[in-house]
């Protein structure tokens, strides 16, 4: 179909779920709002009319509404397509090959031209006028503005006790598995928000299920997050698509993000483990009566230093390889090595102190005490090397 034809549908992007940063200046507009739909035939006309009136008021001709429909059996896409002649800011995508709420939103953002990207449910459960407050927050400089049921002025309308309990339970679980993300949001389940394109641009997204906001916050850069309270309205037409499956997917999603955010730490631990073998090997070569038979302390110091150098090299090329490549040159590498050395030596001192505290003061078993000391010092080593040696300021990086 010709793309310039007035009633043409948007093409469906394929490939990885990544929003581009550099779209040509001539096509850039201020705001793109995605409406994911599945069987919203009874709501689509009303929601488009209400949103158009509202946005025409604040952003005349500088916004677009993008309906992303997953080939709904009720033909929501077709009903939306029929609205195209009357709503010049409206565009419609019909997805056939792919399904799911989160990916629908990302596919919409991928074709969007807005500098600011947003999402809203198409069933009118998200009060449209809240868009004005969200927009205001973005204009003040926020990187993300979230409509929240748990912020001032927010709430739910007629929810049963069990539904409230399930919703809070899901949030608690998120807090346990993914604290650094979930604790930044009073309503991490929200599907009503605006983000700056630059905050998620060129990051590969890989969500499971419904919770697109958690995905964005875990993988993007958001120094400034702002919230606006809203009351989640009852559905007046159509029905919710939430089943037990969404709960399973939610947990799957949390675990996937946990692994993603812990990847560096896991690499760092593996490198540390390799260092144990280097240390042991050289201790044997240097001090064993059948080999060089050097004094024990001297051998241990050399073996430990070699292990530190081994760990440094692996971390510099692998664990923090992406960052090292941005700080090239021998001088820079030497600087990182010296810092790494000092931090690890400080870690060794802390190791001895903790071991003594746990063993002598608290009376713990010495091997258990040593294990705890090693675990704590690994975290110390990781954190300070991350922040000082490789100078990562944004952990999501
Ligand atoms: N394209 C597409 N594909 N859209 C979908 C799909 C899908 O598989 N599943 C649901 N949608 C659309 C719906 O048509 C609706 O516009 C929106 O996504 C939300 O779906 P609902 O099924 O109405 O969800 P809900 O009201 O129970 O749950 C909402 O709860 C949160 C409360 O804060 C979620 O949608 C969140 O977005 C919302 O914020
Ligand atoms: Mn809904």
Determine whether the shortest distance from the Cβ of 123 to ligand 1 is under 6 A: yes
Mean of pLDDT values over 314-338: 94
**Residue ID of nearest Cα to ligand 1 atom 31:** 190
Determine whether the shortest distance from the Cβ of 232 to ligand 1 is under 6 A: yes
CA neighbours within 13 Å on the CB side: how many for 307?
22
Determine whether the shortest distance from the Cβ of 190 to ligand 1 is under 6 A: yes
Q: Ligand 1 pocket test: which of 48, 99, 101 has the largest number of ligand atoms within 8 Å of its C-beta?
A: 101
Which pLDDT belongs to residue 397? 40
Residue pLDDT, tens place only, 14-52: 999 999 987 777 789 999 999 999 999 999 999 999 999
Determine whether the shortest distance from the Cβ of 100 to ligand 1 is under 6 A: yes
Which pLDDT belongs to residue 23? 77
Determine whether the shortest distance from the Cβ of 249 to ligand 1 is under 6 A: no
- The alpha carbon of 240 and the centre of ligand 2 are apart by a number of angstroms equal to 5
Mean of pLDDT values over 127-153: 97
Residue pLDDT, tens place only, 379-395: 999 999 999 999 876 54
Q: Enter the pTM of the model.
A: 0.85
User: How far, in Å, are 45, 92, 101, 139, 346 from residue 75 at the CA level?
Assistant: 13, 12, 17, 36, 65
Of the chain, the percentage scoring pLDDT greater than 90 comes to: 85
Least confident residue range of 103-112, 155-164, 302-311, 328-337: 155-164
Looking up tokens 């992303």, which residue turns up? 68
**Residue ID of nearest Cα to ligand 1 atom 23:** 240
Q: Ligand 1 pocket test: which of 43, 67, 121, 193 has the largest number of ligand atoms within 8 Å of its C-beta?
A: 121
Domain regions of the chain by residue span: 17-242, 261-393
- The alpha carbon of 122 and the centre of ligand 1 are apart by a number of angstroms equal to 8
Determine whether the shortest distance from the Cβ of 68 to ligand 1 is under 6 A: yes
Ligand 1 atom index nearest CA of 68:
1
Determine whether the shortest distance from the Cβ of 93 to ligand 1 is under 6 A: no
Mean of pLDDT values over 307-324: 96
396 pLDDT tier (thresholds 50, 70, 90) = very low
Q: Is 90 exceeded by the pLDDT of residue 237? A: no
- The alpha carbon of 56 and the centre of ligand 2 are apart by a number of angstroms equal to 25
Which pLDDT belongs to residue 22? 74
Closest-CA residue to 381 (of 280, 329, 307, 278): 307
Q: How far is CA 50 from the centre of its chain?
A: 31
- The alpha carbon of 259 and the centre of ligand 2 are apart by a number of angstroms equal to 30
- The number of helix segments (H) and strand segments (E) in the chain equals 13, 11
- Which ligand has the shortest distance to the CA of 73? 1
Which pLDDT belongs to residue 54? 98
Ligand 1 atom index nearest CA of 35:
16
CA angle, 112 as apex, 2 and 10 as ends, to 5°?
A: 25
Determine whether the shortest distance from the Cβ of 36 to ligand 1 is under 6 A: yes
Ligand 1 atom index nearest CA of 76:
14
Domain 17-242 is classified in which CATH homologous superfamily?
Spore Coat Polysaccharide Biosynthesis Protein SpsA; Chain A (3.90.550.10)
């Amino acid at each position: 179909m010709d793309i310039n034809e007035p009633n043409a549908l948007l093409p469906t992007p394929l490939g990885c779920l990544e929003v581009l940063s550099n779209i040509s200046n001539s096509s850039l507009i201020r705001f793109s709002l995605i409406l994911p739909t599945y069987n919203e035939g009874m709501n689509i006309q009303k929601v488009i009319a209400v949103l158009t009136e509202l946005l025409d008021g604040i952003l005349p001709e500088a916004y677009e509404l993008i309906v992303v429909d997953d080939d709904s059996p009720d033909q929501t896409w077709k009903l939306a397509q029929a609205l195209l002649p009357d709503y010049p800011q409206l565009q419609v995508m019909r997805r056939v090959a792919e399904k799911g709420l989160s990916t629908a939103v990302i596919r919409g953002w991928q074709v969007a031209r807005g500098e600011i990207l947003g999402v809203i449910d198409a069933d009118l459960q998200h009060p449209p006028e809240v868009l004005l407050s969200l927009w205001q927050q973005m204009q003040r400089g926020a990187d993300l503005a979230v409509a929240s049921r748990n912020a001032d002025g927010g709430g739910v309308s007629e929810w049963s006790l069990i539904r409230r309990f399930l919703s809070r339970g899901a949030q608690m679980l998120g807090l346990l598995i993914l604290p650094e993300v979930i604790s930044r949001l009073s309503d991490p389940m929200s599907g009503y928000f605006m983000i700056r394109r630059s905050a998620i641009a060129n990051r590969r997204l890989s969500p499971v299920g419904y919770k697109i906001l958690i995905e964005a916050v875990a993988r993007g850069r958001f120094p400034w997050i702002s919230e606006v309270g809203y009351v989640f309205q009852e559905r007046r037409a159509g029905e919710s698509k939430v089943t037990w499956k969404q709960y399973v997917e939610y947990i799957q999603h949390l675990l996937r993000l946990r692994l993603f955010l812990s990847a560096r730490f896991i690499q760092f631990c593996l490198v540390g483990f390799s260092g144990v073998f280097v240390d042991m090997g050289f201790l044997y070569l240097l001090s064993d009566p059948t080999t060089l038979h050097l004094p024990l302390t001297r051998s241990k110091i050399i073996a430990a230093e070699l292990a530190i150098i081994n760990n440094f090299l692996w971390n510099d090329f692998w664990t923090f390889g992406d960052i090292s490549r941005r700080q090239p040159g021998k001088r820079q590498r030497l600087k990182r090595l010296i810092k790494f050395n000092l931090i690890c030596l400080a870690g060794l001192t802390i190791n001895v102190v903790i071991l003594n505290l746990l063993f002598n003061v608290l009376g713990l078993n010495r091997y258990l005490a040593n294990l705890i000391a090693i675990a704590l010092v690994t975290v110390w080593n990781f954190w300070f090397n991350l922040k000082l040696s490789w100078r990562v300021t944004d952990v999501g990086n």
